[in-house]
Amino acid sequence: MARVGIGFVVSMVALGAFANPPMPDYPKIEPGPWFEVDADWPQKPDEFTWAAMPGVTVDKEDNVWLFTREVPSVQVYGPDGAYLFGWGETRGAHHIEIDREGYVWTTDIAAHIVQKHKRDGTVLLSLGTEGEAGEDETHFFKPTDVAVASNGDILVSDGYGNARVVHFKADGSYVKAWGSLGAEDGKFSIPHAIAIDSRDRIYVADRNNARIQVYNMDGDLIDSWKHLLIPWGFWITEDDTIWVCGSSPMPWQRTGEDAYAMLGIPPDDQVVMAFDTEGKLLQYFAFPKATDGEEQPGELNWVHCIALDSKGNTYLGDIKGKRLQKFVLKR
């Protein structure tokens, strides 16, 4: 076989003898909706100071109710970001919810209570014993969230100190509790948030176990969505899409002051996921993780809560970032 010199090969390549065919003209598609941060939202009054931002909800008029560990702890902003009104002084602010009747529910992990309010902050019902932690019919231990069923029954995730869900009638009378500390199905390790869909299925963010557990109103386990994310907060839309904010599963931290305290502290990333009621992942969004004290618009830092308005715009609140941001839906 004849030998081919290097110079000959180089010359042939230069002349295109071995050139590849042209690359295909790939179709240009949009892979799905996305979000852009509205850096001018909201117009917080200058005299207000934001602290950790653990709670957010949206009412039927698309007004945004945030829950922060400053004064006023409940602040209400219009869709355009204008401040409307506020009330309360809750140093242990956690999640905030609005039920089907328009009543406002708050959880206080410092006072160990869950309260139902009128829109102006008037307390209508208080569950738990203020200032006393416990695990019985009249005490919580750092309750994290509350959800109201279609018949008015109340479900409380309890919480950081306890590891259970507590069921009450609409008038506040105790029904039952279920769950205990553990990693097995039906047990909890920081039940951090709770939500109920239109068919009264109960979703519990079992944070330290990196899963979402689904129950019926009798407390029977229906399903468990495991190893998808470390869930921190819920929002359920009218069509029963379950939105969850949190971070990706990761090993427990083995160094530093938070070693072995809680899973995902500090988080590696910041994610938002949407599921159907069977646990099928419908959408996934990853957000930039901010550096402490150097947060930029659009970045998240320990995202804790999520809410959506009627247009699909998404509101996300941070613990370390100490702010609530509006992300405008784009298609």
Average pLDDT over residues 18-39: 88
Q: Residues near 137 by Cβ (< 8 Å), separated by ≥ 6?
A: 174
The pLDDT score that the predictor gives to residue 259 is 65
Domain boundaries, the chain: 27-330
Q: SS3 for 46?
A: coil
The pLDDT score that the predictor gives to residue 317 is 98
* 6 has a pLDDT exceeding 70: no
The pLDDT score that the predictor gives to residue 18 is 62
CA distances for 26 relative to 29, 43, 156, 252, angstroms = 9, 43, 51, 42
Please provide the average confidence, as pLDDT, over all residues in the chain: 93
Q: Residues near 203 by Cβ (< 8 Å), separated by ≥ 6?
A: 194, 195, 196, 197, 212, 213, 214, 234, 236, 242
pLDDT in tens, 101-150: 999 999 999 999 999 999 999 999 999 999 999 999 999 999 999 999 99
Q: Please name which of 221, 225, 210, 138 lies closest in space to residue 178, comparing C-alpha atoms.
A: 221
Average pLDDT over residues 211-240: 98
Q: Residues near 240 by Cβ (< 8 Å), separated by ≥ 6?
A: 197, 198, 199, 276, 277
The pLDDT score that the predictor gives to residue 30 is 81
* 322 has a pLDDT exceeding 70: yes
Average pLDDT over residues 204-231: 98
* 330 has a pLDDT exceeding 70: yes
The pLDDT score that the predictor gives to residue 17 is 53
Average pLDDT over residues 188-192: 98
The pLDDT score that the predictor gives to residue 19 is 77
State how far the Cα of 32 lies from the Cα of 272, in Å rounded to an integer: 14
* 303 has a pLDDT exceeding 80: yes
Q: Please name which of 240, 291, 252, 255 lies closest in space to residue 270, comparing C-alpha atoms.
A: 291
Q: Are 210 and 227 in contact (CB under 8 A)?
A: yes
**H helices of the chain, where?**
6-14
State how far the Cα of 245 lies from the Cα of 225, in Å rounded to an integer: 14
Structure tokens of 9?
């090969």
Q: Mean pLDDT lowest for which of 23-37, 115-129, 150-164, 315-329?
A: 23-37
pTM: 0.92
The pLDDT score that the predictor gives to residue 260 is 64
The pLDDT score that the predictor gives to residue 31 is 79
CA distances for 200 relative to 16, 143, 245, 278, angstroms = 68, 21, 21, 14
pLDDT band at 97 (very low <50, low <70, confident <90, very high): very high
High-pLDDT (> 70) share of the chain, %: 93
CATH class of 27-330: mainly beta
Helix, strand, coil percentages in the chain from 3-state DSSP, rounded to 5 = 5, 40, 55
Which amino acid is present at 88?
Answer: G
**Angle, vertex CA 238, rays to CA 237 and CA 243, nearest 5:** 15
Query: Across the strands, what pairs with 289?
Result: 300
The pLDDT score that the predictor gives to residue 3 is 46
- Whether omega for the bond prior to residue 27 falls within 30 degrees of 0, making it cis, is no
